[in-house]
Structures are given as structure tokens and as C-alpha cells.
Amino acid sequence: MTQNLLINYKLSEYHTGYRAFSRQVLESIKFNNNSDDFIFDNEMLSQIIYKGFDIA
């Protein structure tokens, strides 16, 4: 998957839209600066990975 190569992370699915975020994650990233469009979820994942949080 191209996204896995670009961000050097292995996820099986990027576009589900069903996600839960811990309070720590939401307080650590600037999700309000993200797009209002369909790329919001990819921006969130990129920020979470960049900050070093695990994704399960």
C-alpha cells in the first residue's frame, strides 16, 4: 500500500472512519488544523504516527 510506504508504517486500512482516540492523543495533536474534507482521517493518522503513538 502506497500510504504505508510514504509514512513508513504498516496499517491494513486507512479509510474506515471508525476510530477511537485517547484523550492523550487528542491533547497532543493539532487536529483542528486539519482539513474539513475526506482527507481528515489520513491527516489524523499521520499526526498520530509522527508523535509516536501506537495504533491498534
Give the mean pLDDT of 24-36.
92
pTM above 0.75, yes or no: no
Please report where in the chains the cell 510506504 appears, as a residue.
5
What does the alpha-carbon distance between residue 27 and residue 31 come to, in Å, rounded to a whole number? 9
What does the alpha-carbon distance between residue 26 and residue 44 come to, in Å, rounded to a whole number? 10
φ/ψ of 39, rounded to 5, equals: -90, 0
| pLDDT tens digit sequence for 43-54 | 888 898 889 898
Task: Report residue 42's pLDDT band, with 50, 70 and 90 as the boundaries.
Answer: confident
